């Protein structure tokens, strides 16, 4: 479970901003909460609003950058430059202030995994890791696993001899968390597992193929998703047909050579390929088959999401999506969000997404602590605030408050250009 994520000096983000999944003391919409104790709850979802270029996507990108560094940095060679990574994971400091161009970017995440709370963070510039630390709370009290300063200065409170050996094998541009885990250190294994496997970041076309494989192997899941599509009014779908055959595919690997990363195409391999067809009922009551290409993009995207959702629900993962509403009607997005509050989400999965969908601003779908507003002043950095920072009651019309400018986050449009 995610408690909070903070980032500083990354793209449009200048000063530190924090996305907190810790709930307020409000009693409204208890189904939206994960109960940790009598005194603490977490929210199951957070929606991030704001105009274009306000920094919403950069917040998602900063989480992705952190994830990429953790999953890949142990493969870096000595000359790999952090600012020359693949574009989606590229680091760039805040450029509109000269003082920030040479400052490091900072990232911190606090989470709970297998009933233990962890706090992990690091800072880096374009060439090296500067600071890094990992704390855990095995008995409710903070304990240090490792701390790193000035790139090579390590401090260990436990397993000193073992950790020192792993530190010697950690390059200046590599995260110790990643390297130590690859070298078999047990105390970093669990947080590494969470940070690499439990953060599901941004939609990928691969989701559709993974969902088809799931549906082919699991009839109960297929029936469950078919039922959801039918109840959500996806065009009178009567059945989903999944087929399997062998096809040749090109593999791709990332290599870190000299000062940059490159994509290498591997030899064609023959792999399982899953295809899908849909059966619809016509107005006259007849059944008509559609192939994958003939089916609507919205239906296929919904199918991809639902397959991923049930994996996320089963394992208690965190889904992080930029522009969640793409290809979906607002009512479908509401329905998908509400699944996280439903009986299907038994293992405390969470959803974080950016959106421009105004109809989602519903006080019966979200609490005040679940809605965040991104804004950005000219030549200044991204600011992130929740509705808790404004003088609003839970009963207020969130949509009207937003459109009336009471909480900021609206684009300024100079309409004199139309004259």
**194 lies in the same domain as 338:** yes
User: At 89, phi and psi to the nearest 5?
Assistant: -115, 20
Residue 419 is predicted with a pLDDT of 73
Q: Which residues of the chain have pLDDT under 50?
A: none
Residue 327: left (phi > 0), alpha (psi -120 to 50), or beta?
Answer: left
CA torsion angle for 9, 11, 12, 18 (degrees, to 10)? -50
**230 lies in the same domain as 168:** no
Q: Which of 290, 315, 340 is the last residue of a domain?
A: 315
Residue 131 is predicted with a pLDDT of 98
**Residues paired with residue 290 on neighbouring β-strands, in sequence order:** 278
Q: Which of 264, 299, 315 is the last residue of a domain?
A: 315
Residue 5: left (phi > 0), alpha (psi -120 to 50), or beta?
Answer: beta
- Rounded Cα–Cα distance for residues 63 and 317 (Å): 15
- The residue segments making up the domain with residue 412 are 1-198+317-419
Residue 283 is predicted with a pLDDT of 83
**154 lies in the same domain as 299:** no
Residue 265 is predicted with a pLDDT of 67
**82 lies in the same domain as 231:** no
At 304, list the tokens. 């991809």
**152 lies in the same domain as 239:** no
Handedness of CA 384, 389, 391, 393 (dihedral sign): positive
Handedness of CA 85, 204, 338, 199 (dihedral sign): negative
Q: How many domains does the chain have?
A: 2
**277 lies in the same domain as 190:** no
Helix (H) or strand (E) holding 217: helix 206-217
Angle at 321 between CA 315 and CA 323, to 5 degrees: 155
**181 lies in the same domain as 269:** no
Ranges of H-type helices in 316-372: 330-339
The label of the residue with tokens 């260990």 reads 156
**298 lies in the same domain as 167:** no
Strands 260-281 and 350-354: unpaired
**342 lies in the same domain as 311:** no
The label of the residue with tokens 């020359």 reads 84
Listed residue (278, 325, 267) closest to 298, CA to CA: 325
**361 lies in the same domain as 394:** yes
Helix (H) or strand (E) holding 67: helix 56-72
Residue 249 is predicted with a pLDDT of 67
Q: Which of 315, 337, 363 is the last residue of a domain?
A: 315
pLDDT in tens, 237-262: 999 999 999 877 666 676 766 666 67
**3 lies in the same domain as 92:** yes
CATH of the domain at 374: 3.40.50
**251 lies in the same domain as 384:** no
């Amino acid at each position: 479970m995610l408690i909070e994520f903070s980032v500083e000096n990354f793209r449009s983000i200048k000063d530190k901003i924090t996305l907190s999944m810790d709930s307020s003391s409000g009693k409204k919409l208890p189904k939206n909460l994960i109960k940790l104790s009598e005194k603490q709850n977490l929210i199951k979802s957070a929606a991030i609003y704001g105009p274009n270029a306000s920094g919403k996507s950069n917040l998602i990108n900063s989480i992705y950058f952190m994830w990429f560094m953790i999953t890949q940095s142990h493969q870096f060679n000595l000359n790999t430059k952090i600012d020359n990574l693949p574009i989606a994971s590229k680091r760039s400091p805040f450029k509109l202030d000269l003082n920030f161009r040479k400052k490091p970017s900072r990232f911190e995440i606090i989470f709970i995994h297998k009933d233990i709370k962890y706090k992990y963070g690091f800072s880096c510039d374009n060439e090296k890791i500067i600071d890094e630390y990992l704390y855990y709370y095995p008995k409710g009290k903070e304990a240090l696993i490792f701390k790193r300063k000035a790139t090579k200065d390590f401090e260990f409170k436990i397993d000193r001899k073992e950790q020192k050996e792993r530190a010697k094998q950690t390059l200046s541009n590599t995260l110790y968390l990643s390297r130590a885990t690859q070298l078999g250190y047990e105390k970093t294994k669990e947080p590494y597992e969470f940070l690499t496997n439990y953060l599901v970041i941004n939609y990928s076309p691969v989701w559709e193929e993974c969902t088809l494989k799931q549906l082919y192997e699991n009839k109960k899941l297929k029936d469950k998703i078919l039922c959801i599509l039918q109840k959500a009014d996806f065009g009178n779908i009567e059945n989903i047909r999944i087929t399997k055959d062998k096809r040749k595919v090109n593999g791709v690997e990332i290599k870190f050579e000299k000062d940059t990363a490159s994509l290498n195409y591997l030899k064609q391999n023959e792999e399982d390929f899953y295809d899908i067809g849909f059966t619809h009922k016509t107005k006259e009551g007849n059944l008509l088959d559609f192939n994958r290409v003939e089916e609507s993009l919205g239906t296929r995207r919904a199918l991809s999401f639902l397959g991923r959702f049930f994996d996320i629900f089963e394992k208690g993962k965190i889904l992080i999506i930029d522009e969640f509403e793409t290809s979906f009607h607002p009512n479908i997005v509401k329905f998908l969000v509400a699944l996280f509050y439903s009986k299907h989400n038994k293992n405390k999965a969470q959803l974080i997404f950016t959106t421009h969908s105004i109809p989602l601003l519903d006080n019966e779908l979200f609490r005040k602590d679940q809605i965040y507003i991104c804004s950005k002043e000219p030549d200044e950095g991204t600011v992130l605030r929740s509705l808790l920072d404004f003088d609003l009651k839970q009963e207020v019309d969130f949509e009207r408050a937003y459109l009336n400018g009471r909480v900021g986050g609206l684009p300024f449009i100079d309409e004199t250009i139309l004259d």
